[in-house]
Each structure stands twice: as C-alpha cells, then as structure tokens.
Structure 1
Amino acid sequence: MKQFKNFGFGTQIRKSPFFEATVRWGAQEFSVYNHMYIPRDFGDPVQNFWNLVNDAILCDVAVERQVEIIGPDASKFVQMMTPRDLTNMSVGQCKYVLVTNSDGGVLNDPVLLRLGENRYWFSLADSDILLWAQGIAVNSGLNVTILEPDASPLQLQGPKSGEVMNALFGESIMGLKYYWHREVELDGLHLIVSRTGWSS
C-alpha cells in the first residue's frame, strides 16, 4: 500500500480526546472507525504484542461510541433490538449482545451496559447503530430517548491490568465481577468502569 507522508486530518472525521496523547506515546498510523480516527500502529507490533501478553497496555478506544437508551420503556426497546433474552439483566451488569435487523442479520455486536432501571448503553463496534435505533424508535410507540452520551472509553488490557486498576481505584475494584460495571471517581472525574476485556 502506498504511504503518504503528509496526510491531513480533516474535521469531518472526529479525533478522540486522547488523540494528542496517543501521538505523544508513539502512534504512527490511524484508520477510521465509527467516524473517528483510531490509532493502529505504534511502530513495533512485536513489542506491542509482548506488552499485551506480559504486562498491561492502555488503548484509546473512544471510537467505541455509546448509544444511550433512556426512558420508561427503555427495557422493552433494548429487548426489541436484540434476540438475546435480557429478562434477568440487573442494573450494573453487562451483556454481550447482537443487534440484528428485521431479517436477523447482524448489524453490530456491542457490549450492553445497564446503568439504571430505565437506562442502557450499547458500547458499539463499527456501525451507525445510533441512527438505526433512532429510526426504530420513531414508530415503536415506546417512550424512549436515544442519544450519544459524551463518553470516551479507554481499555486497559493484559495480565498486569489488575495491578494498575488496584493502584488507581483501590482494593475494592478487585471485587468487580466479569461482565459487570460500577461508577467511580478518579481525580474528580466521574467514570464508569466495566470488566469486559478479553485478556487477563
């Protein structure tokens, strides 16, 4: 593939709030995901692999946009979007779900977070599920509000990620069960921490 030395970052594609930090820490290549730039290359893929396998890495995944469903009919609406049975999903729980179209085709495979009795977030892979959900809601007859919250996820992965989380949030964070989340504060910032990663 041809390389471009003077690639310009246009305003029609959003930058993560962590964009400048990823460049400072060595990001050399980006691609587009959910209408945002995502860092793809930090220069040494072999070293990056071993950092993930042996230590811990922090990834800018602000591109994993959230779609918030809120309102008295939020549970009914969210269930309408996925074939996975959510009947027993508790507040504080996460579920891996498929969002499907009317023919059963997979549109996205997000992690669903239940933030409150009538409040959910879909944490998305790459597709325009915000628009899909808003389109479904128009004639659903359900009382829901659908929006994109101002949230920019980071992922901490690797076998030493627990040590990092313990240092940041204290021993209590170690009790967070797999596929659950909780609200915490760090240096005055309100955060939602979930344990949904694919590394240990």
Structure 2
Amino acid sequence: MISWAAYSGFSMKTTTFFSKEVFPDDNNKGLCFGLLVSAVVYTLAFMYGAVHEKIVKTLGSKMTYFVFHFLMFGCLFGILFTKNKWILMALMAPIGIASTVFNTIPYSIISASSPPQSLGKNIGALNVFIVLGQQTANLVIIAVGSIYKKWNWLNQRVGENQAYVSSGVVASAISCFLSFWIIDPSSEDATISIVSSEDDYEQIN
C-alpha cells in the first residue's frame, strides 16, 4: 500500500510535468520526451526483472525492498531540484526498478507463505491494499496542490507538477522503514492466512 502511494503520483504526472514545466514553450515536444522517459523507466524495469530473483536470493527480501525503496526516495527527492531533461531521465529511470520490486516481492511472499486454501483470499486482500495506496496518492496530490497554491515560497522554487511527481517522497521513506518488518517466507512461523485452518475453510464453503 505505502509503496503504491509513493509511486502513483510519479506514474500519473510525469508526462504532464515534462509537457508543461520542462518544455513550457513546446508542450508537444515535452509530451514526447515525457513518453520517452516513461519508456526508459519501464524498459529498465523489464531488464531488471531478469536478475531480480538472483538479487533477492543474495540480499534477501527485506534488504532488497529497503535498498530499492531508498533509491526511489533519493530519486523522487532529487526531482524537486532540477528541470534538466537529461538529469530528470537519469533520476526517474531507477524508479522502474523499484516498481518491479514492489510488484513482485509482496506477491512472492504471499504465494510462499499462504496455505493453498487461503492463497486466493490473501492475494485479493493484497490487491485491496494496492488500490488503497493508489487512492492515498490521489489524496496526497490534492493536499500538495492545495498547499502549493497557498505557499508562495514553494511556487518560486518548484513547479506544480514537479511537486506532484515527487509527492511520494515521504511514502517512499516510510516504505524503507517498514521494509524491516517484512515477513521472510523462509522462516518457520511465516504463514499468512485469512482463513485460520483447512477446517475453517471447509466450513465457509
């Protein structure tokens, strides 16, 4: 949930940011470059997927989640301080890796830790929290927009859409902190189940 709250503002506002604030004199060129940046982000996410399993085996789920959310935190924070298109591309590209991490590790943990009769329910519950994270990001963007319009000091230093793109910086920091409480599926007591036992499952059905 928190990971998606960190990521959603970036994914929704990137092309608008390039169109209106990075290329204010040529919106179409800005839109095209924003789409190019998005392509780079998702290409890097795809390429990282080839080595993701090896990295998780080497670092473990907790450390992998922490490292790449810390990287996302640094990237989102850095975006606040530049409108150079190439620097922005370099800052945004690694966020694609973080998206691969938080789109795989939670599902992997639930799949490895859930008894068969609870797997579908647990994945469904995870999807609910993902949507809650996305909606939280929407509320954060609304709050950032309200603050931006009232705070002249911020107006002079950061673009409105630039602030929206980086609005997940706090959530990414929280994700770094919470990553140390990730349940390792290799531990003996790492069993996740909404349905407490097979008997309960049979009673429900």
* Fold shared per TM-score above 0.5: no
Structure with bigger strand share is: 1
TM-score, normalised to structure 2, is 0.22
Q: Larger C-alpha radius of gyration, 1 or 2?
A: 2
Q: Choose between structure 1 and 2 for higher RCO, CA contacts under 8 A separated by at least 6 residues.
A: 2
TM-score, normalised to structure 1, is 0.22
